[in-house]
Amino acid sequence: MIIDMLSVPSVFRVDDKVALVVGAASGIGQATAVALAVSGATVVCADVDLHGAESTAGRISRDGGKAAALLLDITDAKSIDPATDQIKEVYGAIDILVTTPAVNVRKRLLTYTDEELDRVVDLNLKGSFRVTRAVARVMAERGRGSIVLMSSIRSVVVEPGQGIYAATKASLVQLARGFAVELAPQGIRVNAVAPGVVDTTLTAPIKKNAEWYSAYASRSALKRWASPEEIAWPIVFLASDASSYITGTVLFIDGGWTAIDGRFEPPL
């Protein structure tokens, strides 16, 4: 794709595109829905929490953007195709997919139950797979699209009690790579983002523990947590034509967590 340098500001925008943001009721999903709308997209705010999705869509509309809310449970395989068909019927296309929902059961291996394993894998991995498959089918009909999956720094670094969560996030990186190769002939790009510690409802239990919260902040080069908005804007970049030659990769948005050891400052 050849970009006219005189139009550089516009390639970072997503005007006239339809974006489906799964998990838009709160956290990174909500911030991404808002950022995409500010950047010109019509945003379908999907979530199992319909009230929260409606709140996000309402916020976008009040600010002059275009948005609608949609009840969507990506653990319910039978509900996904009808939902994407509905979006296609109303808007004619899905140009962007961002899927953010995840759950983390923080327990050590010897006490982890099969039910907890199924819960984490079903939402984080299988849910992302299901909605990506459904949306890719719609995108393939028009020969274009951008999909962003939500990985984590836990795809490469892990700690006690996070083995299962980390496994799902590492799997999402490989799904992004594999899907990018498969879908490239249909003009669809697939990437993953890997946030560090972000101030969301998922990490609320950590924030309640001052020592734990501070320890995580000190692990990154920037010595602080991220806001959801700091994850959202890189996602907008991956959704836009500014990233037209980027596919099959993972973007770490971690404040330098994975670049720094963080345990000891050597006397050099």
User: Which residues are marked as active site?
Assistant: 165
The Cα diameter of the chain in Å comes to 63
- Give every strand in the sheet of 145-150, ordered side by side: 66-71, 42-47, 18-22, 96-99, 145-150, 188-195, 250-253
Residues 6+ apart with CB under 8 A from 78: none
CA 76/CA 54 separation, integer angstroms: 20
Residues 6+ apart with CB under 8 A from 62: none
CA 196/CA 204 separation, integer angstroms: 14
Q: Report the chain's terminal Cα–Cα distance, integer Å.
A: 47
List phi, psi (to 5°) of 64: 95, 5
10, 35 contact by CB (below 8 A) = no
